[in-house]
Amino acid sequence: MKKKTLRILIITIILILCIGIFRTAFVYFVKSYTKVHFGDEYNEILYPTALDDYFIAKEVLKDVDKALSTITDFESAIEKFGVLGYLCVTDENAVREEHNLHFISANFSENTGYIWAEYSTKAYDKNGKLESGAILVLFKLKLEKIENEWCVTSINEQL
């Protein structure tokens, strides 16, 4: 009886160690890949967001939300949303979409700024079959103030 209990205890400990090692390696890989993709800009995520910057970012993210919820062809997406058109659902079989958008951080100076956020999206066909999607896509929007309005000038996504 004691040998069986000891074996179960040893197997449990080995399993817990293996899971811990695998999780640590996975997290390290994801963080390393993210750091390689974005470079030193990735550290901006850690900067605190001022309240004024948060309100500006929330207004810009309303347009991002509209783009994520739009199902159209690529040319129309770019025409309607500009740079944000890249976030539209352009799958020709898609008739329904679901998405989540999560603000991370932002910083604005007098005429330039950036927003870090992440989104997940799914597009379904008329039969309810998943056609396309992405999960937890980290992205950075670069903005410029043009004629007293904040405009997205580029999107850098980690795919």
Say if residue 46's pLDDT is above 80. no
Domain count, the chain: 2
Q: What's the CA gap between 142 and 158, in Å, rounded?
A: 15
Q: Is this prediction's pTM over 0.85?
A: no
**Residue 122 and residue 104 in one domain:** yes
Q: What's the CA gap between 149 and 136, in Å, rounded?
A: 28
63-81 tens-digit pLDDT: 999 999 999 999 999 999 9
**Residue 1 and residue 61 in one domain:** no
**Residue 32 and residue 107 in one domain:** no
In terms of residue numbers, what domain contains 18? 1-40
Q: What's the CA gap between 40 and 49, in Å, rounded?
A: 18
Say if residue 155's pLDDT is above 90. yes
**Residue 33 and residue 56 in one domain:** no
How is residue 106 written in tokens?
């932002």
7-39 tens-digit pLDDT: 777 888 887 776 766 666 555 555 555 666 677
Tell me the longest C-alpha to C-alpha distance in the chain: 80
How is residue 55 written in tokens?
């309100």
**Residue 6 and residue 51 in one domain:** no
Q: Contact, 102 vs 119, CB < 8 A?
A: yes
